[in-house]
Every structure is written in structure tokens, then in C-alpha cells.
Amino acid sequence: MSLPTTDEILDDLAFFDSWEERYKYIIDLGKALPAFPAELQTPDRLVKGCQSNVWLEIAGDNERIEFLVDSDAVIVKGLLVLVLAAYNNKSAQQILAFDIDAYFKQLDLERHISPTRGNGLKSIVARINSIAKAALA
């Protein structure tokens, strides 16, 4: 199963009437994440600032950066899919140009996830942006 696009996620979430249904959808999204090899779950791949463990590995170059991610929390795996929809397999320039704040606002996430989860999302985005900036350097 391929991961959905940002537009597909926004359309799917609009279909649900309650945030409980949206949470279930986000959790289901996380089940679609490609397997993350256990040997890559190393301290240097951990994203600092996340409440749960989140591992991030990259492949590709500044023309197309591919992210492999994992978490030990099911809801975070789903949140990672939301982030990957915005950034995965994009160029470094596309990553830096994407308005993630507007996307998160459209998702209405900030009102429905805990502040610590929100900070974790910001940490993941910051790490991805720093990877994209380094790819352009």
C-alpha cells in the first residue's frame, strides 16, 4: 500500500464527523508505514524532542529525498504518515517550500493532540527541514 498524498488525507479526514473517527483513521495510516529495520533503531536516528521514540532514516539526494520512519507509539506512526505525505520523495527545495503550518492548520491537529505530541511533530519537521537544507548546501 502506498502512502496517501496530503490532498487525499485532507479529503479523507473531512469525511469523518468526530475526532474519535479521525484518530482511528490516523492510527490506521500508521499501519501502512513500510517496515523499519530494527538495526536502524539507533540513538543517532532518534528525533530529539519527541515524547515517544521516533527514528528517522534518509535515502536519496537533494533531487528526491526518501524518509524511512518509525515510532514505538501507534498514534505517532499515524502522525508520521501525515508528515511523510508532505515531504517524502520530494526535492530538498520542495520540502523547504512546503507550508507545513498551513497543512497542520487544515488538519486541525493542534486542537486535538497533546502539547507534547505537537512539540514532537515540530521536532520531526525541524529535523526534516535541516536535512533538506544540508542537501542543498
The domain that holds 38 is classified in CATH as 3.90.1010.10
Predicted TM-score (pTM) of the model is 0.92
Q: Is residue 75 part of a domain?
A: yes
Output DSSP code: residue 55: E
Q: Is residue 1 part of a domain?
A: no
CA atoms of 121 and 8, how far apart (whole Å): 20
Which residue range is the domain that position 69 belongs to? 6-136
Domain count, the chain: 1
Q: Which residues are identified as catalytic?
A: 50
Q: Is residue 72 part of a domain?
A: yes
Per-residue pLDDT band at 99 (split at 50, 70, 90): very high
pLDDT score of 68 more than 90: yes
Q: Is residue 65 part of a domain?
A: yes
HSE, side-chain direction, 13 A CA sphere, residue 65:
25
Rg of the chain on CA atoms, in Å: 14
**pLDDT tens-digit profile of 4-38?**
999 999 999 999 989 899 999 999 999 989 889 99
Strands (E), 63-123: 64-71
pLDDT cut 90: percent of the chain above it: 72
**Residues 6 or more apart whose Cβ sits within 8 Å of residue 98:** 86, 87, 90
User: E strand or H helix at 21, and its extent?
Assistant: helix 19-30
C-alpha cell at 111: 486542537
pLDDT score of 62 more than 80: no
For residues 43-50, give the mean pLDDT. Answer: 90
